[in-house]
Chains A and B, each alone.
Chain A
Amino acid sequence: MVVPRRVAVVGAGLSDLGRVDDKTELQLHQQAIRRAVADAGLTRDDIDGLCSTGTGVLSPIEVAEYVGLSQRLRHVESSTVGGSTWEFMSRHAASAIALGLVDVVVLSYASTTRADLKRGVRTSNLSFGARDNQQFDAPFGHTLVSKYAMAAQRHMAQYGTTIEQLAEVAVSARANAADNPEAYYRDPITIDDVLSSRPIADPLTKLQCCIRSDGGGAVVLAAEDRARDLAKAPVWILGTGEAVSHVTMSEWPDFTESPCVRSGRDAFAQAGVTPADIDVCQLYDSFTITVLLTLEGLGFCPPGEAGRFVEGGTLRIGGGLPTNTDGGGLSACHPGMRGMFLIVEAVRQLRGESAARQVADARLACVNGTGGWMSSASTMILGVD
């Protein structure tokens, strides 16, 4: 009988962020991985696991090869469940570490979405093909934004959620970004600014959509016997959960319910805590509606109540539930997918490294990644001693 080991996040790092025109994605992977491992006080010779999404074929082997780890890894993973991928990977890596299958695992991500758009090597909207179930979905040209907009539309009709309540999510994110020198946008915005910005897919306007920036990040997970004597205080992984829902939009059972209902239930149960115990949240904010569905799904408020919950600055630093304290994907950092950056920001808050944007006495954090078009969710409960 194997006695499970406790697992902690022991290192976190970001690559160059924002506007990166002089580096490829693999170069950003290497930069982020080296910074995260150094942050932990470890070296390349300590790493025996790697979880990543590469940029081409056989990811994450190309990342492993690029950073020179491919010949020594005993835990390798490349889930493809969208922006929540790094929360899924954390759960899988933590399980493998707990069982003693691997000791030190690095997770990494990097993207040059902004630079690629600027160079014209990708389109703003992506085509996902029209085979199998997609032959009944994709031909109608619903964009990614309009998929989330359909959820917002349903939530507004079913619960009376207002466009101003949705906008408050973006206003709060920008207010938090003001205190983050690494954030892409830092100038304050108002609810009127959000509502009068360019309409993209009703009811979502430009300022309710995540930004497109460049950058990468990495975190290092290790077992308790390694974590205790490293450079930084361990950030314990206390609970995790994962769930998936739909790819075809017509197969989403309830457009007001995130699959985080299931992932959150598992994560909170494993950690033995409740939403009321959480000091700080990092909830994937691909769009403003994503945050409302996530707050309800995780149980921070009852179904249908998230619009009222966020009113008055609840999500701001100093508010009742400081959320997306770096400014989130709406204002700070969203290079294609955001799951990695949620974990990095949670670790920094729990370590007390967040300077002007530090949430006072942050001991317990909730991280929730959302992937695809509310297609997947993974929840992590993190805490410090």
Chain B
Amino acid sequence: MNRPPGPHTAFDAPSVDTVPWVPPIADQFTEPWWQACRERRLLVRACATCGRTHFPPRPACPHCWSDQVSWHQVTGLGSLYTYSVVRENDLAPFGASLPYVPAIVALDEGPRLMTSIVDSSSLTIAVDARVEVVFVDRGDWTFPAFRIA
């Protein structure tokens, strides 16, 4: 394993083939979200009562408690709110894919989501950088990663 000697060393974030990820435990309510990912569509929830969006998805709006909430497709564009570069993790499969870059992306439509930065040089990875979604297929699952736009 190649471990960079210090936190400021340049590196490339993993590719879509090597970015580490483990399958979730989805449920009946969230399955449409995962199915949309397989179709290259990124969804959030939108409330018809208060007009706000939210993620992770709930049946009822966490802002106003209305149940007039539906799935809403977003552009997949946003900005990098923050990130880290993981250099140590003894849990499989992550320990075999170091370093990788877990990140919080702020979608242009409002909600944030946890993701991983792929296909990007550390020289371009910076807080508030523009990012775009990249759907990654992994067995029966597809998940949203992001790359520096």
Task: Judge whether A255 and B30 touch: CB under 8 Å.
Answer: no
A158 to B143, CA, bound (A): 29
Interface residues of B in 113-149 (CB under 8 A from A): 113-116, 126-128, 143
Task: Judge whether B24 and A199 touch: CB under 8 Å.
Answer: no
Q: In the complex, how many residues of chain A place their beta carbon closer than 8 angstroms to a beta carbon of chain B? A: 45
B89 within 8 Å of A (CB atoms): yes
Given known pairs A127-B91, A131-B27, the reply for A142 and B82 (CB within 8 Å) is: no
Contact of B56 among A136, A143, A196 (CB under 8 A): A136
Task: Judge whether B7 and A123 touch: CB under 8 Å.
Answer: no
Given known pairs A135-B24, A151-B82, A203-B7, the reply for A142 and B88 (CB within 8 Å) is: no
Interface string of A145-179 (1 = CB under 8 A from B): 11101110110011000010000000000000000
A44 within 8 Å of B (CB atoms): no
Task: Judge whether B102 and A199 touch: CB under 8 Å.
Answer: no
A71 within 8 Å of B (CB atoms): no
- Please give, as numbers and ranges, the residues of chain B lying within 8 Å of A146 by CB-CB distance: 84, 86, 102
Task: Judge whether A129 and B22 touch: CB under 8 Å.
Answer: no
Given known pairs A139-B143, A141-B86, A250-B114, the reply for A196 and B22 (CB within 8 Å) is: no
A157 to B20, CA, bound (A): 26
Interface string of B67-95 (1 = CB under 8 A from A): 00000000000000111111111110010
Interface string of A196-235 (1 = CB under 8 A from B): 1011111111000000000000000000000000000000
Task: Judge whether B21 and A163 touch: CB under 8 Å.
Answer: no
- Please give, as numbers and ranges, the residues of chain B lying within 8 Å of A157 by CB-CB distance: 82, 126-128
Task: Judge whether A202 and B7 touch: CB under 8 Å.
Answer: yes
Task: Judge whether B104 and A250 touch: CB under 8 Å.
Answer: yes
| 20 additional contacts (CB under 8 A) given A123-B91, A135-B27 | A123-B90, A125-B90, A130-B24, A131-B27, A135-B25, A135-B30, A136-B56, A139-B22, A140-B102, A141-B100, A142-B84, A145-B86, A149-B85, A150-B102, A153-B84, A154-B82, A158-B127, A200-B88, A250-B113, A255-B81
Residues of chain B having any CB pair with chain A under 8 Å:
3-4, 6-7, 20-27, 30, 55-56, 81-91, 94, 100, 102-104, 111-116, 126-128, 143
